[in-house]
Amino acid sequence: MLSLGGVGFTTGEIREGGRRVGFSISTLDGRRGILAQVNIKGSPRLGRYGINVTDIDNLMVGEMQRALGEGCPLLVDEFGAMEMYSQKFADLSLQVVAKLPLLVGVIREKHHPICDRLKSMEGVQVIRVTLGNRDMLKGELMGYLNNFGK
């Protein structure tokens, strides 16, 4: 994705002693933050995790704004329930899907008002990834990305 001049972010598990205690944020240019963690007190909360809206706004929203400003490809992992606790993220999600030339993202499958709107927007193609198709889809996606803009 970087070879395309794109920006974006991924999320991952934070584990301590073999137990999941939170989720991290990593931008494609190497900045890191916390999406959610069990030891974050107060609200908002989703299950046992406190949501870090500050890092969502600084890292995730920042990357989305950068992609909009530059009109470049954006990788989003993910449009999920935790991320939607940031009103800035929720609002900007609709804009990036409507305006960017290329967006590759992971989106929540379960019902969520914003995620449902995103999935139904013009130009959006939702591909359900399963154990049976994930290896094939990776090659197809990489081929599409490599040919983008040619």
User: What is the chain's pLDDT, residue by residue, as a tens digit (150 residues)?
Assistant: 334 557 999 999 999 999 999 999 999 999 999 999 999 998 899 999 999 999 999 999 999 999 999 988 888 989 999 999 999 999 999 999 999 887 888 888 899 999 999 999 988 888 888 888 878 887 777 776 677 666
Distance CA 86, CA 105 (A): 17
Domains of the chain: 3-147 (3.40.50.300)
Residue 48: HSE in the Cβ half-sphere, 13 Å Cα cutoff: 6
